[in-house]
Structure 1
């Protein structure tokens, strides 16, 4: 039977090509998502600037969430850099086997040029230069026979060394003077040298070296990490273990190897926290779609061969032989598709990964990895799916009675079985449960975590009931179709009703593509619109003052308030914290154990906004419902009413917070306010929050103008007196926020588009297979007197019917997700987003259906009617 399977493949290239394409692209897409997941789990990030450091000691940003038992422990990544205590440096230097231990000072800076130009750089102390290593070179004007002026290390507070890339960007050489902004101010520095990194691949980020004393001042006196080199002959692993023992009990991490890149680029850790769930969610969705598409394609291929199986039974073929033949055919196609998919999957995954890096989700230093696990998982899952589909089809096929070979038309299959009905009810019940959870449990953007899977669950349930729903919709559509389309419509209706099971196999991928595209795209547009609306409602400022790098000097706040036309001004800084304890005396939570509050802070933490009590009510829309925002000074906090209720606190109570840099602080609740569900942030004094952020300063100063006044001119003069400051209006602030939200949405669009494109391939596959199988029918119709034009009109109406049914069912599936999410995120029953998106989805579905139907039909009509009538189905 294996030889028969091979011959069958040779003579049924069209049907098996469709199965091959479904399997091949399924393996590719699942492998690509699997590669992203493996990349996130491994999170390998080789160092660049710190390549010579054998061991790195950095503050531990991993935080055990409060209110969790030991069996249910969860962790989150703190948003800010966690500084290393100075005592740790002495402890490390005393460890046996340590060659050198350098205290790393790291801070953001910007090189300012005439005309408003700016280059973002990262500042460090010169003591860390040998860790790449960076080596001084000549630069600037010629000096003697060497053709270059020899540089030297920075020594004074007004001296710097630029890396070669930064020097080229600034057109600066040794002896030139440049202006650099950092830590809330700017100053002019003399370039004492140009340095180049002697590390493979170079250093991606622009780098500037200051004297160690100046770097310490600009870093706020904080140590970012300790870079350790091993003594000659010292094993790095043993050294790392001894360093860890010496620092036992301190909140630090000791890393070696490719983990060192996460120290140099802290965004590696935050990117991992986004990449893993993204790859897992879309990988699972892609796998489910692929399984669905592959099983449907294999099942449709088997359905179309019922007469062939009956003929084989009539000439003596046994059920066992038929099963072996079908499974052999499926196995050969599946193995070929999986083998080619294993080669194409990693490049596809790497292409996706590059898009995520370009979008800013993942740090550029993270290495893409796609090993044997995604390959085996993708290939194995779809191979088993194909074999299961082939076995199920073989089981139905071998039951065909030999006498069916004499029938003029295939008998309508019985489609509703107890198992199918149970599975349909399970999926539809799951979709209903997810929809209820979305509305009742979640608020704001987090509701997308349950709204997304709802579409797929509903689509799966509707697909299992597809033949029945197709018959029902045909009853509803048959009257209008007959009334407006004449004989062609009559034939289309009769064909569709007689072939409801096979028609459902065509309608299902259209429904899946429409439902996935509509649900996921409008999910993103609704989320973006809700986020932008919430930010716009919260912001009442007319202008904002910001710095080129490192935050705004708090001393500028009083200067801004005295500026003509300014009614109020407030410092502004954001971060994320975690509530460890509600009312004082409830017990501590967090990493020390204990529950504390009635509800522990989730893994996303509690958003915090640092503001000034004097200007918060005029620059934001927050209005206290209890207590007073004027008391927001010192160690205090104002909470949204929903959060206060969850933590069981009221005005006057004390809340223990874990801030973004791991600092723990007890704050008194001085006000409650009504925040927008899902988008609320707690308010703290900027003087409290800013020192616990990476920059250590407020990010911006929000400004409210006096009625009828325009402070733009005086503020521009203020910015001119303080190089590095920038003044923007309200629209620029809104645009900046919208850009951040849309960047995240664009990444989701990319992943959704990939899956929708795969379902579109399934649509074309199914329609081409179904149409090519009707050559005999078309031939008989033409022998009976039908013209080619009439046949084309008939199949056109059939394609439009299938599209209409698929679009209606897909829209129904999408609505099970969009309506609950819109209610949860935007308090509206109608999702946000332009209608042209839905129009484009419908038009694309119709275009695919028509092209995949009419082209094969046109090809079939080119043959003579008598020849076509004798063709096998």
Structure 2
């Protein structure tokens, strides 16, 4: 089955593009931040400079690692779900669950190794950029040169391989255990049912986020900027927890939105409502990066705004440590914005390309290309609103506790334009990507698309 996995990778490169891109970018991010530790050891950095490099490698790199592993698992799950009919066919001709599992894991392992190796050069460029930023802000002496060594390579290649194969194992177990008839039904309906393990992990992440929020309000109250250590990661845990619950969220959202969409959208609205109720699993995968993007970006931006306001209110100039923290926060924002935006675009393109046959059948049934585009536009609107709402909820786990600990206020500092800018970017990315991918997909004749 490993040979079949390699042949599958060669013949179906487009189907694996989303997973490969997630692994490629993820390994580059992990290695770039991990190389800060190589730099510290090679340059003999001590004192504040050594501490700064260590924080960049461990704290920011750790947050990035969490997001990357989650993104890789999400794209792997989407890839296997899109191949439900293929899995059912293999089972029907005699493939055993163990063989299917080896095939899926073999595909993931091959992708992970290739992505990690190709990610080395971008990681070195990103790492040099990070160190240059620290040089420019006088947080690390210019005499300390960049080093890319064993720590970065071990973290990037090792973690990416382990996380990809672990995600594949989890996904393969479920795909292999489902009977042939159930596989065919899932391929047709894509209901996106949640496993017990997924629910357990979602609850765990939300509980950790709540715990961080409580510690911020109680233990860290009056501790100044040190409260960022606990509040800064609460929105990340909350966003991942809510993203894990995305299938249940989208089932409820599509059920509530069906009525208004049918009433306001006419024939297009009726078509969109019917399609969304059948595709909650795929929509859950698409809404996940929106929740992560909005939750972490809003939470971190307003956290830094509150910290700046507290410093200004005290009439104090920013210390080197405060500048360091601010730099780290903006690095996190930049990393999250770039990675989540690419994952959002990546996921939507992969999900839309897979709908080629669906769009062809819909057009053969009488729908016009304009109605197909209108359906996708309505789906994008639902995804954006859902992602923004639950992303905002995730950001509250950071904003409110830190505001109470730092300023005795539940209202965050910073203007509303910051929030609107994040929302607008999420909407543009979602809408433009879905529209562009759909237009490209429906260029093929309906009959040809329906038969492929």
Distance (Å, rounded) in 2 between the aligned partners of 1:398 and 1:500: 21
Distance 2:418 2:319 in 1: 20
Q: Kindly state the Cα deviation for residue 369 of structure 1 after the two structures are TM-superposed.
A: 2.4
Alpha-carbon distance in structure 2 between the residues aligned to 1:312 and 1:386:
23
Cα contact 1:271–1:362 (8 A) shared by 2: yes
Q: Could you tell me how far 1:743 is from its partner in structure 2?
A: 7.4
The corresponding residue for 1:291 is 69
On the 8 A contact 1:507/1:805 being kept in 2, the answer is yes
Per-residue deviation, residues 467-506 of structure 1 (Å, max 9, x unmatched): 1122222333333333332222222222222222221111
From 96, 102, 117, the counterpart of 1:339: 117
Deviant stretches of 4+, over 6 Å: none
Instruction: For 1:417 and 1:359, locate their aligned partners in 2 and report how far apart those are by CA, in whole Å.
Output: 47
Give the direction of change, closer, same or farther, for the CA distance of 1:281–1:787 in structure 2 (3 Å limit).
same
Q: 1:374 aligns with which of 152, 156, 162?
A: 152
Aligned length: 450
Contact 1:455 1:515 in 2 (8 A): yes
For residues 27 and 427 of structure 1, do their structure 2 counterparts lie closer, same or farther at Cα, with a shift above 3 Å needed? same
Matches of 2:25 and 2:407 in 1, distance apart? Answer: 36
Q: Which has more helix, going by share of residues? A: 2
Task: Tell me the CA shift for residue 750 of structure 1.
Answer: 2.7
Cα distance in structure 1, aligned partners of 2:186 and 2:28:
41
| Structure 2: distance between partners of 1:737 and 1:388 | 44
| Counterpart in the other structure of 1:847 | 428
**In the alignment, structure 1 residue 17 sits paired with structure 2 residue 17:** yes
What is the alpha-carbon distance in structure 1 between the residues aligned to residue 158 and residue 193 of structure 2?
28
Over 3 Å counting, the alpha-carbon distance change for 1:815 and 1:407 in structure 2 is closer
- Name which of 270, 275, 279 aligns with 1:495: 275
Q: Does 1:323 align with 2:119?
A: no
Q: 1:782 to 1:270 in 2, by over 3 A?
A: same
Rounded Cα–Cα distance in structure 2 between residues aligned with 1:408 and 1:355:
49
* Aligned with 1:425 (options 182, 188, 203): 203
Q: Could you tell me how far 1:741 is from its partner in structure 2?
A: 5.7
Aligned pairs (5 A) from 1:209-288:
269-288=47-66
How far off is 1:805 after superposition? Answer: 0.7
Q: Give SS of 1:410's match.
A: helix
Contact 2:306–2:414 (CA under 8 A) maintained in structure 1: yes
Give the deviation of 1:322 after TM superposition.
Answer: 2.0
Residue in structure 2 matched with residue 5 of structure 1 by the alignment = 5
**Deviations 1:528-547, CA, capped at 9 Å, x for gaps:** 121112217xxxxxxxxxxx
Find the counterpart in structure 2 of residue 30 from structure 1: 30
Residues 752-831 of structure 1 correspond to what in structure 2 (within 5 A)? 752-831=333-412
**Alpha-carbon distance between aligned partners in 1 of 2:108 and 2:255, rounded to the nearest angstrom:** 36
- Does 2:412 match 1:868? no
| Cα distance in structure 2, aligned partners of 1:32 and 1:291 | 16
Hey, what's the Cα distance between the residues in 2 that align with 1:315 and 1:404?
Answer: 16
Q: In 2, Cα distance between the equivalents of 1:14 and 1:845?
A: 25
Distance 2:266 2:225 in 1: 50
Q: For residues 404 and 425 of structure 1, do their structure 2 counterparts lie closer, same or farther at Cα, with a shift above 3 Å needed?
A: closer
**Corresponding residue of 2:313:** 533
In 2, distance between residues paired with 1:738 and 1:834?
Answer: 24
Unaligned segments of structure 1, at least 5 residues: 46-267, 537-735
Deviation string for 1:139-158 (max 9, x for gaps)? xxxxxxxxxxxxxxxxxxxx
Mapped to 2, the partners of 1:386 and 1:816 lie a distance apart of 29
Deviations 1:105-163 (A, max 9, x none): xxxxxxxxxxxxxxxxxxxxxxxxxxxxxxxxxxxxxxxxxxxxxxxxxxxxxxxxxxx
CA distance in 2, matches of 1:355, 1:526: 23
- Give the CA deviation at 1:413: 4.8
Q: Deviations over 1:747-779 (max 9, x none)?
A: 531342023211211111111111111111101
Question: How far 1:414 sits from its partner (Å)?
Answer: 6.2
Shift in alpha-carbon separation, 1:739–1:27, aligned structure 2, 3 A: closer
Q: Quick check: 1:528–1:742 contact (8 Å CA) kept in 2?
A: no
Report the TM-score when normalising by structure 1.
0.49
- Structure 2: 5+ residue stretches without partners: none
Does 2:140 align with 1:362? yes
Aligned to 1:565: none
Counterpart position of 1:150 = none
CA drift of 1:509 comes to 1.1
TM-score, structure 2 length as denominator?
0.93
Match of 1:300 in 2: 78
Q: CA deviation at 1:11?
A: 2.9
Q: CA RMSD for the aligned pairs? A: 2.2
CA distance in 2, matches of 1:817, 1:405: 41
What secondary structure sits across from 1:473 in the alignment? helix
Q: Aligned pair in 2 of structure 1 residues 764, 461: CA closer, same or farther (>3 Å)?
A: same
CA contact (8 A) 1:532 1:738 kept: no
| Equivalent residue for 2:419, pick from 832, 838, 842 | 838
1-side partners of 2:411 and 2:154: how far apart? 42
Of the candidates 264, 272, 280, which is equivalent to residue 484 of structure 1? 264
Secondary structure of 1:324's partner? helix
Distance 1:404 1:761 in 2: 33
